[in-house]
Amino acid sequence: MSWGQLRVWNDDVIQAGTGFPRHPHRDMEIITYVREGAITHEDSLGNRGRTEAGDVQVMSAGTGVAHSEYNLESKETRIFQIWIMPDEVGAPPSWGA
């Protein structure tokens, strides 16, 4: 199910010390805007980074990537996460913040 190229629009609240364990994605553009707090990303490409309130991170899943995202902060984190289907599939995966 999708709406055009838009696959998902999540409004997530991630409690302190919790998050999303490692899981795979393929052929999806995933944009995360941190509204409050911060999240820490780690993936199978060796990327690791912390994205704070007001910042954006983008993961292009391409041919496949596994990642985790955790709130390692002492307070809750609020994010918008948007998944968009790419125009072309099979691109190399990447991540940046």
Phi-psi region of 63 (alpha: psi -120 to 50; beta: other; left: phi over 0): alpha
The amino acid present at 85, given as its one-letter code, is M
The residues, any chain, with a CB within 8 Å of residue 46's CB and separated by 6 or more, are: none
The residues, any chain, with a CB within 8 Å of residue 75's CB and separated by 6 or more, are: 16, 36, 37
Q: 37-88 pLDDT, tens per residue?
A: 999 999 999 999 999 999 999 999 999 999 999 999 999 999 999 999 999 9
The CATH architecture annotation of domain 6-86 reads Sandwich (2.60)
Rounded to two decimals, the pTM is 0.93
Q: 34-51 pLDDT, tens per residue?
A: 999 999 999 999 999 999
Q: How far is CA 53 from CA 19, 50, 80, 89, in A?
A: 16, 10, 11, 31
